[in-house]
Amino acid sequence: MNRPDLFTSVCIFAGSLPVLLIILGLLVLTGLQVADPETFIDAILDPSVIDSILLTFTAAACSTLILFAIGTPLAYLLSRQKFPLKSVVEGLIDLPLVIPHTVAGIIVYLLCMRQGLLGLPGSLVGIRFEETIAGIIIAMLFVSVPYYVNTVREGFSRVPVRLEQVARSLGATPGRAFVQISLPLTTRHILTGGLMAWGRGVSEFAAVVMIAYHPMIISTLIYQRFNTGGLYAATAVAFVMVVFSLLLFVFIRILGGRLLSEVR
C-alpha cells in the first residue's frame, strides 16, 4: 500500500475522531458491565427489559411501515412535480430535524390528547393515543418523517423521468410506471431511508414520553432506572439495548444487501 499523502492523512485523522468517540463510549459501557456482571445478567434476564426492547423495535417498525405507505408517494411527488408552496412543504418536512424533541413531544401530545385534532376523532372510533402503543408510533413517526422522505426523494430524483416516459409510451399507466420502473430503482434509498427512520424511532425519548410514559419504550425504561436505581442500573439496560440494536442493524444490512442484489 502506498504511503498516504498529506491530505489523505488529514482525512484519516479527522475521520477517525468520530469513530473513536463511538468506540470509546462503547468501551466505557462494556467496561462497566465487565466490572459488575451480576447487574448486567439481571438486566438481560429481566422480562421488563426484553419486553421494552421488543416494544421499542416493534413500534419503530410500525411507524416505518406507515412511513413507507404515506412517505413514499410524498417523496415521489416532491421529486417529480412542481406545485405551489412546494418549498413550504419541504420546510415543514424538515421541521422535526430542527425543533427540540421536547417540542416535537408537545406537538404530538396536543394533536393526540383526548381532545386533540387526532385524539378526538380517534377516540370516536376506539383509538386512544395517550399511554398506548398507538401514541408511541405517532411520536416516532413524527420525528422520523424527514429521514425517510428526504432519502427516498433523493432516490426518485436519480431515476431519469425518461424511463417512466418510455414505459408510458409502451402502455404503462402512471401507477404501473411508478410500481414497475421507479420503485424498484429506488429500492436502495427506500431501504436506507427505512433503516434511518426505524433507527430514529428506536432512539426517540422526549417526543414519546410526553404522549406515553407507559408502556415503557427502552429509552423511557433507561431513564426510569437511572432515576430509581442510579447510573449502574441504567447502564446495564443501556448495554443490552446497544447489543440488540447492533445485532439487528447488522442483520438488516445483510438482508438489505441480499434484497438489493436480487433487484439488480
Partner 1 sequence: MIRIRDLLVRVGSFELPVKNLDVSDNDWVVITGRSGSGKTVFLETIAGFFKPESGSIILDGADITSLPPEKRGISIVFQDYSLFPHMTARENIGYGLKLRNNPEIHSIVSDYARMLGIDSLLDRSPAQLSGGEKQRVAIARALVVNPKLLLLDEPASALDHETRRSLWNDLCSLHDRGDLTIIHVTHDRNEAEVLGNRRIIIDGGKFVE
Contacts to partner 1 from residues 181-220, by CB under 8 A: 181, 184-185
What amino acid is encoded at 38 in this protein? E
Measured over the CA atoms of residue 17, residue 33, residue 223 and residue 219, the dihedral's sign is: positive
Q: Output 115 or 261, the one with its CB closest to partner 1.
A: 261
The reply on whether position 176 binds partner 1 by CB under 8 A is yes
CA distance 104 to 139: 8
For partner 1, which stretch binds (CB under 8 A), given 21-29, 99-107, 146-154, 180-188? Answer: 180-188
- Binder of partner 1 out of 38, 87, 170, 261 (CB under 8 A): 170
The reply on whether position 21 binds partner 1 by CB under 8 A is no
The reply on whether position 9 binds partner 1 by CB under 8 A is no
The reply on whether position 8 binds partner 1 by CB under 8 A is no
For partner 1, which stretch binds (CB under 8 A), given 45-53, 84-92, 93-101, 159-167? Answer: 159-167
User: First-to-last CA distance in the chain?
Assistant: 32
The reply on whether position 173 binds partner 1 by CB under 8 A is yes
In 3-state terms, the chain is what percent helix, strand and coil (to 5)? 85, 0, 15
Burial of 27 (0-12, 13-18, 19+ CB in 10 A): exposed
Residue 146's nearest CA partner among 84, 86, 100, 96 is: 96
Q: Output 15 or 174, the one with its CB closest to partner 1.
A: 174
- Residues in contact with partner 1 by the rule CB under 8 A: 160, 162-163, 165-174, 176, 181, 184-185, 263-264
